[in-house]
């Protein structure tokens, strides 16, 4: 359940049913607060770098497969001579609004370096979600694609 879905149900059941207030009032307040916090550059997140003893192409395929499994939307890619950058949107959840995931994958000798950051704008706390996203991403990159 996303944060938006939770507030929609909260509005219907609690605010409308119990207090008799018009629907959407909680969502409106949350949206305004989130927008204000984002404009004030309030954000939370984590960044991490790991080196994986696997070929760069195999690590990249494992990461792309993981993004599909986790419903993380790939927004853009940038190709460089020895690396690439993936920019993604993390879907909203019960604990966070949507966020940004940036993943850099590059070759260093026979190894692959993966740098990733998960950021949630407009929030001071992500309740460990950025850590979980990065842990799962790096675990998938290490394990590779299982067929």
Q: Provide the terminal-to-terminal Cα distance of the chain, rounded to the nearest Å.
A: 29
pLDDT computed for residue 40 by the predictor: 75
Mapping DSSP to helix (H, G, I), strand (E, B) and coil, where does residue 74 land? Answer: strand
Q: What distances in angstroms separate CA 135 from CA 56, 77, 141, one per listed residue?
A: 19, 22, 10
Residue matched to tokens 């009032």: 25
Which run of H or of E encompasses 138? helix 129-143
pLDDT computed for residue 9 by the predictor: 58
Q: Which domains does the chain have, with CATH numbers?
A: 1-40 (no CATH), 42-143 (3.30.530.50)
The answer to whether residues 57 and 110 touch, using CB atoms and an 8 Å cutoff, is no
**Digits of tens for pLDDT over the chain (147 positions)?**
766 666 565 556 555 554 555 555 555 556 666 566 667 777 889 999 999 999 999 999 999 999 999 999 999 999 999 999 999 999 998 888 899 999 999 999 999 999 999 999 988 899 999 999 999 999 999 999 876
């Amino acid at each position: 359940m996303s944060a938006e879905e939770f507030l929609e149900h909260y509005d219907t059941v609690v605010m409308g049913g119990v207090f008799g207030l018009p629907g959407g009032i909680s969502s409106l307040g949350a949206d305004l607060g989130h927008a204000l916090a984002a404009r004030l550059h309030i954000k939370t997140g984590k960044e991490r770098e790991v080196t994986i003893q696997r070929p760069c192409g195999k690590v990249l395929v494992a990461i792309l497969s993981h993004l599909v499994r986790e419903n993380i939307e790939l927004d853009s890619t940038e190709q460089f001579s020895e690396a690439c950058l993936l920019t993604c949107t993390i879907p909203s959840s019960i604990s966070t609004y949507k966020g940004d995931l940036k993943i850099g994958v590059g070759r260093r000798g026979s190894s692959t370096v993966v740098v990733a950051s998960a950021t949630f704008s407009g929030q001071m706390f992500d309740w460990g979600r950025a850590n979980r996203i990065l842990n799962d991403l790096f675990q998938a990159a290490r394990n590779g694609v299982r067929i």
